[in-house]
Amino acid sequence: MRLRWLGSFLVVTFAGMAQASDAVADFSMFRAPLPPPDEGAQTHWNFPALRASPDSTLVSSTSGVARTLSLLAGSTAQRRNHVRILVYGQSLSKQSWAERVRDELMRRYPHADIEFHNLAIGGFVASMLKRTLEQDVIPLYPDLIILHDFGREDDYEEIVRQIRTRTTAELLLQNDPWTPNQRADWHDQHSWQWMPALAARWGVQMVDIRGAWRDYMADQRLSVDELLQKDQSHLNHRGNFVWAEATLRHLTAPQEPLQPNKQPVRTLVVGKDVHWMGNKLTLPFTGNRIDVIADPKGTVGAAARVVIDGKAPSQWPSLYAFTRPNADANRDWPWQTGATMRVDRQAPLLLEDWTITFTTFAPESAQFSFSVVGSKTGYDGSGESDKPFVSRSGRVVLSPEDWFIERVIGRESAVHLHSGYKITFGVRPQFVDTYVAPPTPDPVRSYVTTLAQGLPMGRHTLQMLSPVKARPLIKEIRVYSPMVGPVTAAGEVAVPHNAKSM
Mean pLDDT over 304-319 rounds to 98
Alpha-carbon distances of 351 from 66, 348, 379, 422, 423, rounded to whole Å? 36, 10, 16, 20, 17
Q: Rounded to an integer, what is the distance from CA 62 to the centroid of its chain?
A: 19
Mean pLDDT over 102-113 rounds to 96
Residues 6+ apart with CB under 8 A from 255: none
Nearest to 27 by CA among 96, 119, 127: 127
**C-beta of residue 65 within 8 angstroms of C-beta of residue 209:** no
At residue 306, does pLDDT exceed 80?
Answer: yes
What CA dihedral angle connects 246, 169, 120 and 417, to 10 degrees?
180
At residue 243, does pLDDT exceed 70?
Answer: yes
The larger pLDDT score, comparing residue 34 to residue 459, is at: 459
What CA dihedral angle connects 392, 394, 400 and 404, to 10 degrees?
-100
Nearest to 352 by CA among 316, 394, 323, 388: 323
With b for 16 or more beta-carbon neighbours within 10 A and e for fewer, the 328-359 pattern comes to eeeebbbbbbbbbbbbebeeebeeeebebbbe
DSSP letter, residue 294: E
What is the reported pTM?
0.90
**C-beta of residue 144 within 8 angstroms of C-beta of residue 169:** yes
- DSSP H or E segment with residue 101: helix 97-108
Model pLDDT for residues 314-367, shown as the tens digit of each residue: 999 999 999 999 999 888 999 999 999 999 999 999 999 999 999 999 988 889
- DSSP H or E segment with residue 244: helix 237-248
Model pLDDT for residues 138-180, shown as the tens digit of each residue: 999 999 999 999 999 999 999 999 999 999 999 999 999 999 9
Least confident of 45-49, 61-65, 195-199, 342-346: 61-65
CA distance 93 to 243: 10
Cβ neighbour number for residue 204 with a 10 Å cutoff: 24
Q: For residue 487, what pLDDT band results from cuts at 50, 70 and 90?
A: confident
CA distance 133 to 110: 30
What CA dihedral angle connects 19, 24, 29 and 31, to 10 degrees?
160
